[in-house]
C-alpha cells in the first residue's frame, strides 16, 4: 500500500493516477475527501488526514509500506502557516511513518534548497530533508524546479489566454527552469518502485530555461496574440512583502522572492546530467503551452 500525502495536488494527483493505472494499491490522504472523489473512483482508498494533526498521520501510515509526500503550504495562513505544515507537520509524518514500519519514504523537496537560502520555505525544505535522512527510514528526495502548471501557466500564461494580459513580479531578467509535473511524476514513480533510487537525492528539471517575460511572449506567439505585460518593480515587491508579512505570510513570501537580486536566488537548471542518468523525453514548454491552448479552444466550443 502506498500512502500519498498531497494526493489532490498538481503532482500528487498525477502520481496517484499513474500508480493506480499500474495496478498499485494507493491510499490517498487529503483534508477534504470530496476533493479525491476521482481517485476513489479509480480505486484509491481515500483517507482524511491533516499534516497539523499528528493522530491523523498515525492512522494514515498504518499498513502503508511506502509513503510519497507532495504537499506544501507555501501560501498558508493561521494554523496552516508554512512552518506548521511544511516543517512541524512533515517531521510528524516522518515520525508516524517510522512508527508504522514504512519501508521507503519519498519526499518532494525543491530545487535550490539549502540551509542558507534567503527564502525561509527553501530552508524548511532543507531542514526536512535532513530530518528524513536522520530518521533511519529509507528515503528518496526529489528536488524539482518550478512546475509549468503553476509558474508558467497559473501565474502568467493563463491570464494571457483569458484576458490578453499578464502582470509579472520583479525584474524579470532571471532565467528560470520550468518542468512539467508529469515529468516529475515519472521520477516519483521510479523512486517508489525501483530500489536503486533508495537513499538518493534527485535534482529534476525541464529541458529549457526562460525568463517570465519570454514565457509570456511564447504564450502570445503560440496563441497568435500580442499580450500586454506589466511588471511590479522589485522595490515595490519588497515593500509589499513587509506590509503583508504579519497577516498574509504566504503572499509576503512570494513578494519577497520576487524582490531578490537574480544571483541571490538562481533558478536556472541544466538537465544534461539528469538525462544522462535517466534518459527520457522531457516536455518542452512550447508543447505544454500548445496543450493549454488546445484545452481552452476545446472548452470554448
Ligand atoms: N508547484 C511548484 O512549482 C513546485 C516546484 C518545486 C517543488 N514543489 C513541491 O512539490 C510538492 C507538490 O506541489 P504541488 O504544486 O503539486 O502542490 P499543490 O498542487 O499546491 O497541492 C498541495 C497539496 O498539499 C496538500 N496539503 C496542503 N496542506 C495540507 C495539510 N495541512 N495537510 C495535508 N495535506 C495538505 C493539499 O491537500 P488537500 O488540500 O487535499 O488537503 C494538496 O494536495 C510540494 O512539496 C511542493 O513544495 C512544487
Q: How far is CA 142 from the centre of its chain?
A: 10
- Assign 198 a pLDDT band (cuts: 50, 70, 90): very high
* CB-ligand 1 contact for 9 (6 Å cutoff): yes
Ligand 1 centre to CA of 9 (Å) is: 5
Ligand 1 centre to CA of 201 (Å) is: 19
Q: CA 155, 13, 97: angle at the middle one, nearest 5?
A: 115
For residue 230, pLDDT beyond 90: yes
* CB-ligand 1 contact for 144 (6 Å cutoff): yes
Ligand 1 centre to CA of 226 (Å) is: 33
By most ligand atoms within 8 Å of CB, the mutation choice from 33, 40, 70, 81 for ligand 1 is 70
Q: What are phi and psi of 231, to 5 degrees?
A: -130, 140
Ligand 1 atom at minimum distance from 12 CA: 16
Specify the residue with its C-alpha closest to ligand 1, atom 40. Answer: 30
For residue 38, pLDDT beyond 80: yes
Ligand 1 centre to CA of 74 (Å) is: 8
The mean per-residue pLDDT over the stretch 11-25 comes to: 98
* CB-ligand 1 contact for 32 (6 Å cutoff): yes
For residue 301, pLDDT beyond 70: no
Q: What is the pLDDT of residues 126-178, one digit of tens each?
A: 999 999 999 999 999 999 999 999 999 999 999 999 999 999 998 788 999 99
Ligand 1 centre to CA of 224 (Å) is: 33
Question: What pLDDT was estimated at residue 298?
Answer: 86
The mean per-residue pLDDT over the stretch 74-100 comes to: 97
How far, CA to CA in Å, does 111 sit from each of 46, 104, 117, 178, 265? 30, 21, 11, 11, 11
* CB-ligand 1 contact for 110 (6 Å cutoff): yes
* CB-ligand 1 contact for 112 (6 Å cutoff): no
* CB-ligand 1 contact for 85 (6 Å cutoff): yes
Residues 6+ apart with CB under 8 A from 138: 103, 104, 105, 198, 199
User: pTM for the full model?
Assistant: 0.96
How far, CA to CA in Å, does 58 sit from each of 17, 63, 130? 24, 10, 21
Ligand 1 atom at minimum distance from 69 CA: 45
* CB-ligand 1 contact for 42 (6 Å cutoff): no
Between CA 34 and CA 133 the distance in angstroms is 34
Grid cell, residue 37, equals: 472523489
How far, CA to CA in Å, does 19 sit from each of 76, 187, 200? 29, 12, 21
> Domains in the chain and their CATH numbers?
2-146+179-207+268-283 (3.40.50.720)
| Cβ-based neighbour number of residue 163 at 10 Å | 10
Q: On the CB side of 25, how many CA atoms lie within 13 Å of its CA?
A: 6
Ligand 1 centre to CA of 73 (Å) is: 7
Q: What is the pLDDT of residues 235-270, one digit of tens each?
A: 999 999 999 999 999 899 999 999 999 899 999 999
What are the start-end ranges of the H helices in 148-284? 158-163, 181-193, 212-223, 234-244, 249-257, 272-277
**Could you identify the residue written with the cell 502520481?**
15
Q: CA 121, 171, 75: angle at the middle one, nearest 5?
A: 25
Ligand 1 atom at minimum distance from 184 CA: 10
DSSP state letters, 265-286: S-B----HHHHHHS---PPPHH
Specify the residue with its C-alpha closest to ligand 1, atom 24. Answer: 71
Amino acid at each position: 500500500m502506498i500512502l500519498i500525502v498531497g494526493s489532490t495536488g498538481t503532482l500528487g494527483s498525477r502520481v496517484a493516477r499513474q500508480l493506480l493505472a499500474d495496478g498499485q494499491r494507493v491510499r490517498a490522504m487529503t483534508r477534504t475527501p470530496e476533493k479525491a472523489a476521482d481517485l476513489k473512483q479509480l480505486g484509491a482508498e481515500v483517507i482524511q488526514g491533516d499534516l497539523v494533526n499528528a493522530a491523523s498521520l498515525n492512522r494514515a501510515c498504518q499498513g502503508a509500506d511506502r509513503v510519497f509526500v507532495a504537499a506544501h503550504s507555501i501560501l498558508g495562513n493561521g494554523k496552516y502557516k508554512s512552518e506548521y505544515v511544511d516543517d512541524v507537520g512533515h517531521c510528524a509524518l516522518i515520525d508516524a511513518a517510522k512508527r508504522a514500519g514504512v519501508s521507503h519514504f519519498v519526499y518532494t523537496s525543491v530545487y535550490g534548497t539549502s540551509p542558507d537560502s534567503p527564502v525561509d520555505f527553501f530552508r524548511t525544505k532543507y531542514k526536512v530533508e535532513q530530518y528524513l535522512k536522520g530518521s533511519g527510514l529509507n528515503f528518496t528526495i526529489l528536488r524539482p524546479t518550478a512546475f509549468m502548471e503553476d509558474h508558467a501557466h497559473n501565474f502568467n500564461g493563463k491570464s494571457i489566454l483569458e484576458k490578453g494580459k499578464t502582470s509579472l513580479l520583479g525584474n524579470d531578467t532571471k532565467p528560470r527552469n520550468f518542468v512539467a509535473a508529469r515529468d516529475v511524476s515519472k521520477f516519483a514513480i521510479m523512486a517508489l518502485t525501483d530500489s536503486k533510487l533508495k537513499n538518493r537525492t534527485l535534482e529534476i528539471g525541464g529541458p529549457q530555461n526562460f525568463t517570465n517575460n519570454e514565457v509570456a511572449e511564447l504564450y502570445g506567439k503560440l496563441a497568435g496574440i500580442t499580450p500586454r505585460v506589466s511588471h511590479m518593480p522589485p522595490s515595490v515587491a519588497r515593500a509589499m512583502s513587509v506590509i503583508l508579512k504579519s497577516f498574509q505570510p504566504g503572499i509576503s513570501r512570494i513578494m519577497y522572492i520576487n524582490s531578490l537580486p537574480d544571483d541571490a536566488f538562481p533558478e536556472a537548471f541544466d538537465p544534461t546530467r539528469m538525462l544522462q542518468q535517466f534518459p527520457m523525453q522531457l516536455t518542452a514548454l512550447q508543447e505544454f503551452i500548445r496543450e493549454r491552448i488546445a484545452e481552452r479552444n476545446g472548452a470554448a466550443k
